[in-house]
Amino acid sequence: MGEFLWHPELIGPIFILAGVSHFFVEEFIDIFPPIGTWGGLWQLPGSAKFHVYWTGFAEAGGGLGLLLSKSVLHNDALFSTFAALLLGLSVAVYPANFYMYTHGKQLPKGVEMDNTSHAGRFVAQIVLCGVLAGMI
């Protein structure tokens, strides 16, 4: 099962679709932490839209990179690089997931998130990071 998850033919398109969705699902803007969140600790400059768009571009580009570097170019070094970049991106976007939990935000399109859902999403994020680390 674990090896199946590592196939770029599966995880690449998942990242591509997730990234492209950032350009068409406006509610992603609602889960970006505004400046001053968590008692003023969050001070990342730039608009929520900017961050949603660059992360969408990075997810789609990283997924395409995984797919092409392994399946078309057969370049393991490039594949590892894209996996490492997506791992870094997954860690970088974690504050948005944490913001959803701490501020009761919902997923786009009205998908309800209770504490169990947030815990499941946290575990899924850890598994995803593990899968990406295994690709490096």
Q: Write the pLDDT tens digit of every residue in 92-129.
A: 999 988 888 888 777 776 677 787 887 888 888 898 89
Instruction: State the Cα–Cα distance between residues 32 and 96, nearest whole angstrom.
Output: 5
Query: What's the pLDDT score for residue 27?
Result: 85
Query: What's the pLDDT score for residue 3?
Result: 53
Instruction: State the Cα–Cα distance between residues 80 and 74, nearest whole angstrom.
Output: 11
Domain ranges of the chain: 2-135
Q: Write the pLDDT tens digit of every residue in 24-69.
A: 988 888 889 999 988 888 898 999 999 999 999 999 999 999 999 9
What type of residue sits at position 14? I
Contact 47, 32 (CB under 8 A): no
**Total-model pTM:** 0.87
